[in-house]
């Protein structure tokens, strides 16, 4: 094995992968060099390669303990201890300090520990000895600290080391733990798409609370949401929920301004909102079929600024001020750093829109801990607090919406959606440059849908940085997305095992491995702590053995009717779906059922010239006709084909009866959660997002045709809910 291959192996760069057609694709040397450099280990020259390889291979010898150790609940502790040779007579004392503060100690002689390995670095002999012990039987699940002190005999000074010890359960919280019988159903929606009589041009958290009450009244167990991640307030044209600035904080445009308590005490804001010019702009934003994000931002931000000014005048003893300070303490430094980024991004973007990416800022401002950034934060303390205030109010309103659902009877509540990665120009990449990689993007290899592969333009997490930080940012991100939620959907969950990286230099992509078992255990721990079921979106190329691993961890699979096919191409029978799954007819990236039946998605692709030639278009149209035939056959087998469809030809027009039959079909499956997309329930033909497009199709902008106030009485929604509820009981 060459030095380059060794370095790539140590960094988790896979040497090859098999594409969707079964072809083996080797990872080129150029790709290995590019991805190694992206992780901070340059290998462009022989000298660089040697230095990087030594840095990686020697790292575990130059420190006594690894940065983190994740073990199963009840498992014995076994870890390798790296120490200089010749300490056989030294006394070793280990202290295990529980998360709650209780400490356990024990002492032993270093020479009594089994010798596992030896090595010489820079003329100094090291040895690795194994510490194996039973953990205290009372050790709880959680995040503990293991410290080791070695005192050599007759020699002054001591050697010290420490590691984070994470004790985790083997399984996540399950639907059976929450819902009697372990079977329920829910309604999925895009929050921005909700509209109401008092919205400001976009769905907001107050609308969400009212929708949750409606869903509970229909007998649903949960409401599914698009990612609520923070975007870029200074540039409201950046609207993709799966391309966020940060996955830890919230999109502040979802704040319902009229539900912010300071409005009642801010005459300036009241006068602004009551002005004729403002009312005209507000009416125009409400009347649009597509969300006009810049218009929404222009309405909300000036009012929110006025409300923050009122808030700043509150005394320290005021309950709102105290709640805000408690939120700041809870969120800690990550909140402040995010707010500083927001203020900086606003400052540079307003001065020059070409400085949209923080990499284009002056070098002194590209490091969050630089003196220049600290000086800016001090000078702009009020603006920084403004962005903290917005996060606090967004979190409060989301919590209120969740409470509305719980009071109305949703047993699970909201499921939130965690995007696969963050935008390289956003707050997370700026604030955690040692965790988020800048020299590569997340994507997917070529497949039958994208012959050239996909580059999603997102910054991957560094597997090296994750472990070096004891998974701190990953844990914080999980907790943030489990707030006010009863379930979490992890987009492209295969990223827990490996993720396709595309080097910025144009080299071919390759898969990079992640510490899969550690991440699964941490997810299980946070799931139990936060009372949150976990769903893994496992569509696409799934590694062998991956789904069984998710099942063992209690993470639900994600099964879409369109894709669940038998060997002959027909749709799988309901009984063939796994019990440990969330099942759905469609997703935000696919045609609504009405769009599927009427070829609306194919018409869009033809309209936007997304087909390489007419033959490809004709094949898709033919295949869709076959799919309709297969679907009617499947419904017939289950006794569900509507009477208005006398045969299985598939040429009949769309009908609500057919929609109900298809959802009944899927709801019969053993899958413990069945989801209905609100677009289907309301008979919408257009899908929220058309992959492969950016501006050509109105992605992430479509508003629903029925306001929240009218949904409880909407016949289509009511009938579909009855159909699904009947099959689930």
Side by side, which strands form the sheet with 487-490? 533-536, 487-490, 413-418, 222-225, 184-189, 673-677, 581-584, 557-560
CB of 426 within 8 A of CB of 344? no
Cα–Cα distances (Å) from 194 to 188, 198, 225, 249, 716, in that order, read: 12, 11, 11, 21, 17
Instruction: For residues 652-673, give the mean pLDDT.
Output: 96
* Assigned token pair, 712: 């409880």
Mean pLDDT of 419-444: 94
> How many Å apart are CA 110 and CA 90, to the nearest integer?
6
Q: Does 644 or 403 have the greater pLDDT score?
A: 403
Contact predicate 265/251, CB 8 Å: no
Predicted confidence at residue 646, as pLDDT, reads: 87
Q: 59-113, pLDDT tens digit by residue?
A: 999 999 999 999 998 888 888 899 999 899 999 999 999 999 999 999 999 999 9
User: Do residues 525 and 141 lie in contact, with contact meaning Cβ atoms separated by under 8 Å?
Assistant: yes
**Residues 6 or more apart whose Cβ sits within 8 Å of residue 652:** 644, 645
Residue 719: its H or E element: helix 715-728
User: Contact 572/591 with Cβ under 8 angstroms?
Assistant: no
**580 pLDDT higher than 90:** yes
Res. 450: pLDDT tops 70? no
pLDDT tops 70 at residue 448 = no
Judging by beta carbons within 10 Å of its beta carbon (0-12, 13-18, 19+), is residue 521 exposed, middle or buried?
Answer: buried
Percent of the chain with pLDDT over 70: 99
* Residue 371 confidence class, pLDDT cut points 50, 70, 90: very high
The Cα 511–Cα 13 span in angstroms is 6
Instruction: Provide the pLDDT for residue 134.
Output: 76
**Which DSSP string corresponds to 325-378?**
HHHHHHHHHHHHHHHHHHHHHHHHHHH-GGG-SGGGS-GGGSSTTSHHHHHHHH
146 within 8 A of 69, measured Cβ to Cβ: yes
What is the pLDDT at residue 154? 72
Q: How far apart are CA 688 and CA 684, in angstroms?
A: 10
Helix (H) or strand (E) holding 241: none
The string of pLDDT tens digits covering residues 257-299 is 999 999 999 999 999 999 999 999 999 999 999 999 999 999 9
Distance CA 700, CA 226 (A): 10
End-to-end CA distance of the chain: 59
DSSP 722: H
What is the C-alpha separation between 34 and 121, in angstroms, rounded?
Answer: 28
Return the pLDDT at 26: 93
Q: Name the pLDDT band for 449 (thresholds 50, 70, 90).
A: low
Interval 451-475 mean pLDDT = 91
How many Cβ atoms sit within 10 Å of the Cβ of residue 329?
9
Rounded to whole angstroms, how far apart are CA atoms 491 and 242? Answer: 9
* CA trace torsion 269, 270, 274, 279 (10° rounding): 50
Which segments within 567-710 are labelled E, that is strand? 581-584, 673-677
Rounded-to-integer distance, Cα 633 and Cα 661, Å: 12
User: What is this structure's pTM?
Assistant: 0.96
Q: How confident is the model at residue 638 (pLDDT cuts 50, 70, 90)?
A: very high
Helices 371-379 & 381-408 angle (0-180, nearest 10): 80
> Using an 8 Å Cβ cutoff, are 466 and 158 in contact?
no
Is residue 25 within 8 Å of residue 16, measured between CB atoms?
A: yes
Could you please report the per-residue DSSP string of 116-175? EEEEEETTEEEEEEEEEEPPPTTPPSEEEEEEEEEE-TT-SS-EEEEEEEEEE-SS-B-H
């Amino acid at each position: 094995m060459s030095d380059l291959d060794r370095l790539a192996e140590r960094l988790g760069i896979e040497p090859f992968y098999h594409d969707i057609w079964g072809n083996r694709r080797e990872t080129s040397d150029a790709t290995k060099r590019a991805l190694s450099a992206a992780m901070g280990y340059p290998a462009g020259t022989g000298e660089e390669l040697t230095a990087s390889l030594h840095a990686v291979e020697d790292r575990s010898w130059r420190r006594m303990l690894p940065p983190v150790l994740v073990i199963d609940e009840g498992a014995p502790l076994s870890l390798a201890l790296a120490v200089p040779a010749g300490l056989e007579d030294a006394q070793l004392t280990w202290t295990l300090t529980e998360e709650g503060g209780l400490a356990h100690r024990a002492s032993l002689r270093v020479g009594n520990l089994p010798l596992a390995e030896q090595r010489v670095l820079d003329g100094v002999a090291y040895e690795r000895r194994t510490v194996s012990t039973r953990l205290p039987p009372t050790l709880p699940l959680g995040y503990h600290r293991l410290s080791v002190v070695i005192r050599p005999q007759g020699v002054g000074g001591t050697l010290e080391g420490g590691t984070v010890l994470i004790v985790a359960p083997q399984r996540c919280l399950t639907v059976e733990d929450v819902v009697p019988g372990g079977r329920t159903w829910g309604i999925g929606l895009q929050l921005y798409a909700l509209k109401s009589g008092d919205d400001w041009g976009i769905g907001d958290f107050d609308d969400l609370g009212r929708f949750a009450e409606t869903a509970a009244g229909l007998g649903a167990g949960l409401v599914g949401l698009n990612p609520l991640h923070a975007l870029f307030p200074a540039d409201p044209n950046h609207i993709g929920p799966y391309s966020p600035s940060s996955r830890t904080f919230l999109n502040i445009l979802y704040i319902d301004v009229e539900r912010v308590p300071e409005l009642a005490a801010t005459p300036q804001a009241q006068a602004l909102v009551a002005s004729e010019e403002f009312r005209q702009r507000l009416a125009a934003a409400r009347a649009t079929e597509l969300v006009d994000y810049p218009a929404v931002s222009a309405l909300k931000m000036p009012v929110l600024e006025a409300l923050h000014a009122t808030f700043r005048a509150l005394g320290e003893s005021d309950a709102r001020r105290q709640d805000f300070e408690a939120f700041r303490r809870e969120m800690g430094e990550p909140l402040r750093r995010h707010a500083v980024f927001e203020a900086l991004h606003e400052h540079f973007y307003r001065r020059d829109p070409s400085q949209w990416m923080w990499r284009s800022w002056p070098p002194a401002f590209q490091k969050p801990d630089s003196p220049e950034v600290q000086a800016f934060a001090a000078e702009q303390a009020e603006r920084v607090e403004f962005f903290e205030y917005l996060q606090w109010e967004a979190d409060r309103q989301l919590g209120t919406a969740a409470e509305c659902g719980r009071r109305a009877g949703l047993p699970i509540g909201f499921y939130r959606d965690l995007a696969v990665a963050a935008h390289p120009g956003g707050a997370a990449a700026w604030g955690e440059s040692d965790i988020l990689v800048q020299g590569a993007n997340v994507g997917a290899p070529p497949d039958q849908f994208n012959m050239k592969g996909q580059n999603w333009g997102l910054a991957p997490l560094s597997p090296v940085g994750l472990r070096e930080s004891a998974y701190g940012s990953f844990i914080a991100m999980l907790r943030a997305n489990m707030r006010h939620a009863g379930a979490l959907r992890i987009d492209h969950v295969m990223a827990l095992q490996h993720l396709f990286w595309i080097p910025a230099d144009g080299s071919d992509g390759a898969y990079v491995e992640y510490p899969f078992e550690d991440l699964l255990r941490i997810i299980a721990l946070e799931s139990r702590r936060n009372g949150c079921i976990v769903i893994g979106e496992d569509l696409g190329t799934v590694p062998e053995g991956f789904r069984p691993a998710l099942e063992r961890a209690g993470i639900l699979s994600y099964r879409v009717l369109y894709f669940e096919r038998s060997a002959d191409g027909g749709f799988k029978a309901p009984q063939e779906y796994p019990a440990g799954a969330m099942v759905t007819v469609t997703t935000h990236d696919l045609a609504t059922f009405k769009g599927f039946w009427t070829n609306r998605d194919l018409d869009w692709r033809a309209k936007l010239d997304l087909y390489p030639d007419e033959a490809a278009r004709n094949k898709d149209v033919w295949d869709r006709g076959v799919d309709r035939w297969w679907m009617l056959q499947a419904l017939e087998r289950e006794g569900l084909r509507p009477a208005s469809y006398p045969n299985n030809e598939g040429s009949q027009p769309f009908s609500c009866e057919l929609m109900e039959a298809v959802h009944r079909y899927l709801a019969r499956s053993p899958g413990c959660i069945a989801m209905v997309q609100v677009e289907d329930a309301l008979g919408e033909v257009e899908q929220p997002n058309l992959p492969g497009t950016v501006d050509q199709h109105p992605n992430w902008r479509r508003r629903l045709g029925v306001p929240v106030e009218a949904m409880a009485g909407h016949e289509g929604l009511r009938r579909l809910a009855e159909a699904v509820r009947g099959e689930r009981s």
